[in-house]
Amino acid sequence: KFRKTKLAALLADPASFSASHGDEVLLPLEVWTQRLARPCTVFICVAGGDGGGYEEDEEEALMEREWVGMVTLRGPFSYELYRLSGPESPVRVEVEEEEEEGEDPETRWHLSNLWTSSAHRGRGLAKKMVQECLDFATSESKRLPGKDKARVRLIIKDEGSFLKRMYARMGFDETGRASLREAYIASGDEGCLPRDTSSKEELIGLWETRFGLVMERVL
Protein backbone atom coordinates (compact mmCIF):
# COMPACT_ATOMS: atom_id res chain seq x y z
CA LYS A 1 0.00 0.00 0.00
CA PHE A 2 2.93 2.32 0.71
CA ARG A 3 4.29 1.68 -2.78
CA LYS A 4 0.89 2.11 -4.42
CA THR A 5 0.22 5.41 -2.64
CA LYS A 6 3.68 6.82 -3.36
CA LEU A 7 3.49 5.93 -7.06
CA ALA A 8 0.04 7.50 -7.35
CA ALA A 9 1.34 10.62 -5.61
CA LEU A 10 4.29 10.82 -8.01
CA LEU A 11 1.90 10.80 -10.95
CA ALA A 12 -0.50 13.32 -9.44
CA ASP A 13 2.02 15.69 -7.87
CA PRO A 14 5.57 15.09 -9.22
CA ALA A 15 6.83 18.47 -7.97
CA SER A 16 6.52 17.25 -4.36
CA PHE A 17 9.29 14.68 -4.79
CA SER A 18 12.89 14.60 -5.95
CA ALA A 19 12.44 11.19 -7.59
CA SER A 20 10.32 10.52 -10.68
CA HIS A 21 7.52 8.02 -11.23
CA GLY A 22 9.46 6.47 -14.11
CA ASP A 23 12.37 5.63 -11.81
CA GLU A 24 10.34 4.60 -8.77
CA VAL A 25 8.00 2.20 -10.57
CA LEU A 26 11.02 0.08 -11.57
CA LEU A 27 12.30 -0.39 -8.02
CA PRO A 28 12.06 -3.91 -6.54
CA LEU A 29 9.82 -4.57 -3.54
CA GLU A 30 12.86 -4.93 -1.24
CA VAL A 31 13.66 -1.23 -1.72
CA TRP A 32 10.16 -0.23 -0.65
CA THR A 33 10.41 -2.47 2.40
CA GLN A 34 13.73 -0.89 3.38
CA ARG A 35 12.13 2.55 3.23
CA LEU A 36 9.85 1.58 6.10
CA ALA A 37 12.75 0.44 8.31
CA ARG A 38 15.16 2.41 10.49
CA PRO A 39 16.60 4.98 10.16
CA CYS A 40 13.32 5.93 8.45
CA THR A 41 10.13 6.81 10.28
CA VAL A 42 7.18 7.25 7.93
CA PHE A 43 4.23 9.25 9.23
CA ILE A 44 0.96 8.42 7.47
CA CYS A 45 -2.30 10.34 7.69
CA VAL A 46 -5.45 8.31 7.02
CA ALA A 47 -8.96 9.56 6.30
CA GLY A 48 -11.07 9.51 9.45
CA GLY A 49 -14.50 8.98 7.92
CA ASP A 50 -17.65 11.00 8.50
CA GLY A 51 -17.20 11.03 12.24
CA GLY A 52 -13.64 12.31 12.06
CA GLY A 53 -12.25 9.21 13.74
CA TYR A 54 -12.11 5.44 13.50
CA GLU A 55 -12.82 2.50 15.75
CA GLU A 56 -10.13 0.17 14.37
CA ASP A 57 -6.69 -0.15 15.87
CA GLU A 58 -3.87 1.72 14.12
CA GLU A 59 -2.69 -1.21 12.02
CA GLU A 60 -6.19 -1.99 10.79
CA ALA A 61 -6.84 1.67 10.01
CA LEU A 62 -3.64 1.85 7.97
CA MET A 63 -4.63 -1.15 5.91
CA GLU A 64 -8.32 -0.39 5.47
CA ARG A 65 -8.61 3.38 5.18
CA GLU A 66 -7.52 5.83 2.52
CA TRP A 67 -4.07 7.35 2.92
CA VAL A 68 -4.36 11.10 2.45
CA GLY A 69 -0.89 12.22 3.46
CA MET A 70 2.58 11.03 4.40
CA VAL A 71 6.05 12.29 5.24
CA THR A 72 9.39 10.61 5.96
CA LEU A 73 11.80 11.49 8.76
CA ARG A 74 15.26 9.89 8.69
CA GLY A 75 17.66 9.88 11.61
CA PRO A 76 19.24 10.46 13.95
CA PHE A 77 22.52 10.77 12.04
CA SER A 78 26.09 11.54 12.95
CA TYR A 79 27.46 14.75 11.52
CA GLU A 80 29.44 12.87 8.87
CA LEU A 81 26.33 11.08 7.58
CA TYR A 82 24.17 14.20 7.88
CA ARG A 83 26.30 16.80 6.12
CA LEU A 84 25.97 17.45 2.43
CA SER A 85 28.80 16.15 0.29
CA GLY A 86 29.82 19.56 -1.01
CA PRO A 87 31.71 22.35 0.73
CA GLU A 88 28.66 24.30 1.94
CA SER A 89 27.29 22.25 4.81
CA PRO A 90 25.51 24.81 7.02
CA VAL A 91 26.56 23.13 10.28
CA ARG A 92 30.15 22.28 9.35
CA VAL A 93 32.07 24.90 11.39
CA GLU A 94 29.79 24.77 14.41
CA VAL A 95 29.89 20.98 14.73
CA GLU A 96 33.61 20.62 14.03
CA GLU A 97 34.35 23.05 16.86
CA GLU A 98 32.11 21.07 19.22
CA GLU A 99 33.66 17.76 18.18
CA GLU A 100 37.14 19.14 18.89
CA GLU A 101 35.95 19.85 22.43
CA GLY A 102 34.44 16.37 22.72
CA GLU A 103 30.87 17.68 22.73
CA ASP A 104 28.07 17.30 20.22
CA PRO A 105 24.69 18.18 21.75
CA GLU A 106 22.64 17.76 18.56
CA THR A 107 20.78 14.92 16.96
CA ARG A 108 20.32 15.38 13.21
CA TRP A 109 17.34 14.43 11.08
CA HIS A 110 16.25 14.76 7.46
CA LEU A 111 12.62 15.34 6.50
CA SER A 112 11.45 14.45 2.98
CA ASN A 113 8.61 13.21 0.78
CA LEU A 114 5.92 15.41 2.32
CA TRP A 115 2.70 14.82 0.41
CA THR A 116 -1.03 15.37 0.92
CA SER A 117 -3.88 14.27 -1.30
CA SER A 118 -5.28 17.10 -3.42
CA ALA A 119 -8.78 16.26 -2.15
CA HIS A 120 -7.69 16.94 1.45
CA ARG A 121 -5.55 20.04 1.04
CA GLY A 122 -6.36 23.32 2.72
CA ARG A 123 -7.01 21.61 6.06
CA GLY A 124 -3.57 22.01 7.59
CA LEU A 125 -2.58 18.35 7.17
CA ALA A 126 0.91 19.14 5.85
CA LYS A 127 1.68 21.39 8.79
CA LYS A 128 0.35 18.81 11.26
CA MET A 129 2.51 16.05 9.78
CA VAL A 130 5.63 18.23 9.85
CA GLN A 131 4.88 19.10 13.48
CA GLU A 132 4.60 15.38 14.27
CA CYS A 133 8.09 14.94 12.82
CA LEU A 134 9.46 17.80 14.92
CA ASP A 135 7.84 16.44 18.07
CA PHE A 136 9.20 12.97 17.34
CA ALA A 137 12.75 14.25 16.76
CA THR A 138 12.60 16.25 19.99
CA SER A 139 11.30 13.36 22.10
CA GLU A 140 13.82 10.91 20.63
CA SER A 141 16.67 13.34 21.32
CA LYS A 142 15.72 13.55 24.98
CA ARG A 143 16.23 9.79 25.26
CA LEU A 144 19.90 10.07 24.29
CA PRO A 145 22.53 11.09 26.85
CA GLY A 146 24.25 14.39 26.17
CA LYS A 147 21.76 15.47 23.52
CA ASP A 148 19.66 18.55 24.15
CA LYS A 149 18.99 19.75 20.59
CA ALA A 150 17.39 18.29 17.49
CA ARG A 151 18.32 19.69 14.07
CA VAL A 152 15.80 18.92 11.33
CA ARG A 153 16.67 19.59 7.69
CA LEU A 154 14.71 19.49 4.46
CA ILE A 155 15.45 20.23 0.81
CA ILE A 156 12.82 21.74 -1.47
CA LYS A 157 12.64 23.21 -4.93
CA ASP A 158 13.01 26.96 -4.57
CA GLU A 159 10.02 27.64 -6.79
CA GLY A 160 7.81 25.84 -4.27
CA SER A 161 6.81 29.14 -2.67
CA PHE A 162 3.89 27.69 -0.67
CA LEU A 163 6.09 25.10 1.03
CA LYS A 164 8.83 27.66 1.53
CA ARG A 165 6.41 30.00 3.29
CA MET A 166 4.90 27.19 5.36
CA TYR A 167 8.29 25.98 6.57
CA ALA A 168 9.39 29.54 7.32
CA ARG A 169 6.27 30.07 9.44
CA MET A 170 7.16 26.88 11.31
CA GLY A 171 10.58 28.24 12.23
CA PHE A 172 12.78 26.80 9.47
CA ASP A 173 15.61 29.00 8.20
CA GLU A 174 17.27 28.96 4.79
CA THR A 175 20.77 27.59 5.34
CA GLY A 176 22.18 26.61 1.96
CA ARG A 177 21.74 24.94 -1.40
CA ALA A 178 21.75 21.30 -2.50
CA SER A 179 21.97 19.40 -5.76
CA LEU A 180 19.51 16.74 -6.88
CA ARG A 181 22.18 14.12 -6.22
CA GLU A 182 22.58 15.36 -2.64
CA ALA A 183 18.79 15.37 -2.19
CA TYR A 184 18.62 11.72 -3.27
CA ILE A 185 21.37 10.77 -0.82
CA ALA A 186 19.84 12.74 2.06
CA SER A 187 16.50 11.01 1.45
CA GLY A 188 18.14 7.57 1.51
CA ASP A 189 17.72 6.98 -2.21
CA GLU A 190 21.37 6.90 -3.23
CA GLY A 191 20.79 3.43 -4.69
CA CYS A 192 18.46 5.02 -7.25
CA LEU A 193 21.10 7.41 -8.59
CA PRO A 194 22.51 6.80 -12.07
CA ARG A 195 26.13 5.72 -12.17
CA ASP A 196 27.12 8.82 -14.09
CA THR A 197 26.03 12.25 -12.86
CA SER A 198 28.88 14.43 -14.09
CA SER A 199 30.49 13.30 -17.36
CA LYS A 200 28.39 15.61 -19.55
CA GLU A 201 27.24 19.17 -19.18
CA GLU A 202 23.57 18.18 -19.21
CA LEU A 203 24.18 15.61 -16.46
CA ILE A 204 25.96 18.19 -14.35
CA GLY A 205 23.07 20.59 -14.88
CA LEU A 206 20.55 17.99 -13.75
CA TRP A 207 22.36 16.22 -10.91
CA GLU A 208 25.18 18.44 -9.65
CA THR A 209 23.80 21.98 -9.88
CA ARG A 210 22.63 23.26 -6.51
CA PHE A 211 19.15 24.52 -7.32
CA GLY A 212 17.51 22.98 -4.24
CA LEU A 213 16.87 25.12 -1.17
CA VAL A 214 18.08 23.75 2.18
CA MET A 215 16.09 24.75 5.25
CA GLU A 216 16.76 23.76 8.86
CA ARG A 217 15.25 24.19 12.27
CA VAL A 218 17.02 23.57 15.57
CA LEU A 219 14.69 22.52 18.37
Q: What is the pLDDT of residue 93?
A: 38
Query: Can you tell me the mean pLDDT for 186-198?
Result: 88
Beta carbons within 10 angstroms of residue 25's beta carbon: 12
Cβ contact 178:214 at 8 Å: yes
Residue 196 has pLDDT above 90, yes or no: yes
pLDDT band at 49 (very low <50, low <70, confident <90, very high): low
Query: Can you tell me the mean pLDDT for 145-158?
Result: 91
Q: Which of 61, 38, 151 is nearest to 105 (CA)?
A: 151
Residue 30 has pLDDT above 80, yes or no: yes
Cβ contact 68:46 at 8 Å: yes
> In order of start, what are the domains of the chain with their CATH numbers?
1-47+57-93+104-218 (3.40.630.30)
The highest-confidence range among 51-55, 56-60, 185-189, by mean pLDDT, is 185-189
More confident residue, 169 or 63: 169
Q: What is the pLDDT of residue 31?
A: 87
- Taking only the tens place, the pLDDT of each residue in 78-92 is 888 898 865 444 444
Length of the chain, in residues: 219
Stretch among 38-47, 48-57, 157-166, 178-187 having the lowest mean pLDDT: 48-57
Residue 184 has pLDDT above 60, yes or no: yes
Residue 50 has pLDDT above 70, yes or no: no
Helix intervals (H) in the chain: 2-12, 21-24, 29-34, 58-64, 79-82, 92-100, 125-142, 161-169, 180-186, 201-203
Q: What is the pLDDT of residue 35?
A: 85
Which residue type, as a one-letter code, is found at position 83? R
Cα gap 46→154, rounded to integer Å: 23
The DSSP result for 200-219, as a single string, is SHHHIIIIIS--EEEEEEE-
Q: What is the pLDDT of residue 15?
A: 75
- Strand 67-77 relative to strand 40-46, pairing: antiparallel
pLDDT band at 96 (very low <50, low <70, confident <90, very high): very low
Mean pLDDT, the chain, whole residue set: 85
Q: What is the pLDDT of residue 98?
A: 47
Whole-prediction pTM:
0.86
